[in-house]
Amino acid sequence: MELVSVIIPNWNGKSLLNECLASVYNQTYPNIEIIVVDNGSTDGSREYLESRVERVKSSEGWHNVGAQRAVPLLILNNKNEGFAKAVNQGIKQSKGTFVMPLNNDIVLEKTFIEEMVKAAKKDSKIGTVSGKLIRNDKYGQIVIDCTGHVIFKNRLLTNRGFNELDKGQYDKEEYVFGASGAAPLYRRLMLNDIAVDGQFYDESFFSFLEDVDLDWRAQLRGWSVYYTPLAVAFHHRGGSAVRRSKIVEMHNFKNRYLLMIKNDNAKSVAKNLPGILFSDLVKSGALLFRCPKALLGIADVIKLLPQTLKKRKVIQQNKVVSLDDMEKWFRPFSYRSWFKRHIREDVYKLRDEG
C-alpha cells in the first residue's frame, strides 16, 4: 500500500492544530506519515508541537526522534518562510508515493485520504486529485468551498462551486484544471517532473496562487487533475492567513502576473487581451479603494522579472501539450456576477468598518 505524506504548514494556528491532526489520525487509510512545518509561530504552536515529540537538532534543522503518532516529523522555522517554502521543505523530507499538503484549518472526513488515493490510481497520468471541500457561510449554511480550480479567458481564477449550496451538482467524478492547495493529493512522480530549480511550489509566490501555478505547469507537462466528490473535507478558512488582509491582497495581485509570465502562451494572451486588461483595470480600481498598498506588489513583479523569465524558459521548453489542449480550460467569464460579488463585498466591508 502506497505511503501518503501529509504535510501541514502552520503559522500561528495553535487553536486549529488539534482538530486538524485528529482528523488525520482517524483516517481509514493506514499508511500515512505526518510532517508539520511551523513557520516561526508566536502563539504557542511551537511549544504545543514540541511537547508531543522528542527532538534532536541536525544540520538540516530540528527533527524528532521516537515521535508520537501525532507528529512523526517536525520542522521548525525561525520566521514565516511562506506557505510555498514550508510545503517544499516538507516534501523534501517526505517519503510518500503521494504527497498531501494540508491547511491547518482543514478537517478531513475519515475516508478522505482513502478516496483520494483510489482516484489517483485510476490512471497513471493523474498527477493531482481534488476532493470536495465544504464550509459554513456567514449564515451558518453548509456551502461548497472548492471542487477544483477554474481558469477564465481573462485569466481570473476561482474555486469551482464556491459559495454554492451543495445540491449534488458536483457529485460526478471528472477532470478539472486544478486543485485547491488546501488539501490536494499530488503524485510524487509529477512533482519531480514539474519542479523548476528544485522547487515544487514556486517560493517567489510566498503564499497564494502557488497551487494554481503548479496546476498550470502540470497541465503543460501532460499531467491530469481528477476530481472525486467521495473525498470530503471541511474548510474553516482563515487559519494561517487572514482573508482580505493587506498581505493577502498584495500577494494575490503580484502572483497573478507571475503566473501569466511563467506559464501563459503569447498568442492566447493576445487573443484574450481586451478581457485581461479590463479585468486588471477593474481589480486595480477595487484595490485602490479597498487596499491601495496591495498595488505595491507590482514592484515585486518587476524585481522578480529576471528569475521569472528564466523559469518561463524552462517551463515552455519542457511543455508537451498544444495550445488547443490548454485553451479548452479557459472559460468565458461572467462580468455581471463578478461585479455583483465585488459590490456586495465592499458594502459589507464599509458596514463592518462603520
pLDDT digits (tens, 9 = 90+) for 82-139: 999 999 999 999 999 999 999 999 999 999 999 999 999 999 999 999 999 999 988 8
Question: What pLDDT score was predicted for residue 253?
Answer: 92
Question: In Å, what is the CA distance from 325 to each residue of 65, 78, 151, 223, 224?
Answer: 48, 43, 14, 12, 12
* 175 and 41 in a common domain: yes
* 187 and 336 in a common domain: no
pLDDT at 331 over 60: yes
* 137 and 76 in a common domain: yes
Of 151-160, 184-193, 246-255, 325-334, give the lowest mean pLDDT range. Answer: 246-255
Of 10-19, 121-130, 140-149, 341-350, give the lowest mean pLDDT range. Answer: 341-350
| The CA-based dihedral angle spanning residues 266, 272, 278, 284, taken in that order and rounded to the nearest 10 degrees | -40
Does residue 133 fall inside a structural domain? yes
Does residue 116 fall inside a structural domain? yes
Q: Is 192 exposed, middle or buried (0-12, 13-18, 19+ CB in 10 A)?
A: exposed
Does residue 212 fall inside a structural domain? yes
Among 243, 235, 242, 12, which residue's Cα sits nearest to residue 107?
235
Judge contact between 69 and 21, C-beta under 8 A.
Answer: no
* 201 and 61 in a common domain: yes
Please state whether beta strands 98-101 and 106-108 pair in parallel, antiparallel, or not at all (unpaired): unpaired
Does residue 241 fall inside a structural domain? no
* Cα 38 to Cα 55: distance, rounded to the nearest angstrom: 14
DSSP H helices, 65-199, are: 83-93, 112-120, 188-194
* 200 and 96 in a common domain: yes
Grid cell at residue 309: 523569465
The mean pLDDT of the chain is 89
Q: How many residues does the chain have?
A: 354
* 143 and 97 in a common domain: yes
Domain interval for residue 65? 4-235
* Cα 176 to Cα 225: distance, rounded to the nearest angstrom: 6
Grid cell at residue 137: 457561510
Among 217, 191, 190, which residue's Cα sits nearest to residue 312?
217
Among 316, 221, 315, 308, which residue's Cα sits nearest to residue 257?
308
Question: What pLDDT score was predicted for residue 64?
Answer: 35
* Cα 74 to Cα 53: distance, rounded to the nearest angstrom: 8
The label of the residue with cell 485528529 reads 22
Judge contact between 255 and 205, C-beta under 8 A.
Answer: yes
* 149 and 20 in a common domain: yes
Among 111, 164, 175, which residue's Cα sits nearest to residue 142?
164
Judge contact between 24 and 108, C-beta under 8 A.
Answer: yes
Does residue 240 fall inside a structural domain? no
* Cα 134 to Cα 44: distance, rounded to the nearest angstrom: 28
Question: What pLDDT score was predicted for residue 345?
Answer: 54
- Average of pLDDT values for 34-62? 73
What is the number of structural domains in the chain?
2
* 29 and 139 in a common domain: yes
More confident residue, 32 or 55: 32
pLDDT in tens, 70-90: 456 899 999 999 999 999 999
Q: Which pLDDT band, with edges at 50, 70 and 90, does 56 fall under?
A: very low
Judge contact between 82 and 206, C-beta under 8 A.
Answer: yes
